[in-house]
Amino acid sequence: MTKRKLGNSNLEVSTLGLGCMGMSFGYGPAADKQEMISLIRLAVERGVTFFDTAEVYGPFANEELLGEALAPFRGRVVIATKFGFRLDPNGGPQWIGLDSRPDHIRQVAEASLRRLRVDAIDLFYQHRVDPEVPIEDVAGAVKTLIEEGKVRHFGLSEAGVDTIRRAHAVQPVTAVQSEYSLWTREPETELLPALEKLGIGFVPYSPLGRGYLTGKMNENTAFDSSDFRNTLPRFTPEARKANQALVTLLGKIAQRKNSTPAQIALAWLLAQKSWIVPIPGTRKRERLEENIGAVAVELTAEDLREIDQAASKITVQGARYPEKLEKMTGR
């Protein structure tokens, strides 16, 4: 596995990371813990060094999973986690609001350190921008944790460009995480140029469109009742049917390259910038191997032009999130 640096920072990670949320949360019932520990350790064996989690995934279960799975590999892997949600004090599965007050950030950091079984959090993202707390206060709180040796790098997730600039002025931002893929290209307009100018790395989540771009689902695919894709406008049967043209495009290129639609979708992302590190998630060994194989897929300038020209004629149907969650992005 090749390596990449996130922006101008000295944080070097595998070219492809592993998003671990779906192992515990979001896509139906949690997977078997021992199977997921084996999968995470297989990823390390295959050269993956960058793992993504958050306290809200579970809540807490995903961080605990990574803490146990990666305990034998301390110093060899980079773990990113996140703060910024207010969780149900009664232990319910859903968050009940945002909370990026400095004292809360510290509480989350201390608890995440215990669950992850580490001395320092490698990359600590604000999960969503909290409009009630100035971003300068958030960056200052993380800066203090970095000075204390409890955190190594600061990140932001789904933040707007102005917010990123203001945070970066207080504490350099190592990476920004937002959704980016062939069917979610909004970051190209303002975000990517700003990150390039500031020297900040970019970590696309859902680089395979929450599974849609793999070509393994269609309008008739049924999700478990607890799968949060049931709530996403882009995953209505009508939207899935309308967006099939994108999967057809990926399949056409994949056939020519002797690869898979998922590998073409990931290779396309990797070809955009040298400081982009996607974090596809999976619960399956064969999908992990397939995703890692994308690193070896070479797309020529002609291939990329063909993909862009064809994709530009496809209008993606359906919003990424329901309105309440959509409002929490790009602030």
| Strands 121-126 and 151-157, bridge-based pairing | parallel
Structure tokens at 123: 């990359």
73: three-class secondary structure by DSSP: helix
pLDDT at 224 > cutoff 90: yes
Q: Residues 289-330: pLDDT tens digits? A: 999 999 999 999 999 999 999 999 999 999 999 999 999 999
Contacts of 232 (CB under 8 A, 6+ apart): 210, 318, 319, 320, 321, 322
Q: Given this model, what pLDDT does residue 12 score?
A: 98
pLDDT for the residue numbered 22: 98
Opening angle at CA 267, ends 52 and 48, nearest 5: 35
Is the pLDDT reported for residue 115 higher than 90? yes
**Catalytically annotated residue among 57, 125, 180, 212:** 57
Phi, psi values for residue 52, rounded to 5°: -115, 130
Alpha carbon of 327 to those of 33, 157, 316, 319, 330: distances in Å?
A: 34, 14, 19, 11, 8
Half-sphere exposure of 138 (CA within 13 A, CB side): 31
pTM: 0.98
**Is residue 90's pLDDT more than 90?**
no
- Element containing residue 167 per DSSP (H, E): helix 161-170
How confident is the model over 57-75, as a mean pLDDT? Answer: 97
Domain that holds residue 29: 3-210+269-297
Both structure tokens of 220: 């008739």
What is the DSSP-derived secondary structure letter of residue 255?
H
Judge whether 323 lies within some domain: no
Residue 242: how many CB atoms within 10 A of its CB? 17
Q: Assign 106 a pLDDT band (cuts: 50, 70, 90).
A: very high
> What's the one-letter identity of residue 260?
T
User: 47 in a domain, yes or no?
Assistant: yes
pLDDT at 56 (0 to 100): 97
Task: Single out the residue of 31, 24, 87 nearest to residue 58, CA to CA.
Answer: 24
Q: If we measure between CA atoms, which residue out of 59, 66, 67 comes closest to residue 86?
A: 59
Look at residue 31 in the predicted model and tell me its pLDDT.
Answer: 98
**pLDDT at residue 92 greater than cutoff 90:** no
Q: Average pLDDT of 78-91?
A: 95
pLDDT band, very low/low/confident/very high, at 279 (cuts 50, 70, 90): very high
Supply 245's token pair: 């043209």
Percent of all residues in the chain with a pLDDT value above 90, rounded to a whole number = 98
Q: Which two tokens stand for residue 283?
A: 């619960």
pLDDT (average), residues 156-173? 98
212 noted as active-site residue: no
**What is the distance between the alpha carbons of residues 115 and 151, in angstroms, rounded to a whole number?**
14
Report the alpha-carbon distance of residue 30 to residue 8 in Å, rounded: 36
CB 213 within 8 A of CB 262: yes
In a domain, 206, yes or no: yes
The answer as to whether 219 is a domain residue is no
Nearest to 195 by CA among 258, 123, 275, 253: 275
Residue 173 lies in a domain: yes
CATH number at residue 274: 3.20.20.100
Residue 147 within a domain: yes
Q: How many domains does the chain have?
A: 1
What are the E-state strand segments in 44-101? 50-52, 78-83, 85-87, 95-98
Mean pLDDT score, 265-277: 98
| Cα 82 from Cα 159, distance rounded (Å) | 13
Cβ within 8 Å of residue 59, ≥6 positions away: 87, 93, 95
For residue 91, pLDDT beyond 90: no
**At 268, is the secondary structure helix, strand, or coil?**
helix
pLDDT of res. 93: 82
pLDDT digits (tens, 9 = 90+) for 227-261: 999 999 999 999 999 999 999 999 999 999 999 99
Q: Is 224 part of a structural domain of the chain? A: no
| Residue 262 located in a structural domain | no
- pLDDT for the residue numbered 275: 98
**pLDDT computed for residue 153 by the predictor:** 98
CA 186 to chain centre: 15
Tokens of 318: 């359906």
**For the residues 199-205, what does the mean pLDDT come to?**
98
pLDDT average, residue stretch 165-190? 98
Q: What pLDDT sits at residue 307? A: 97
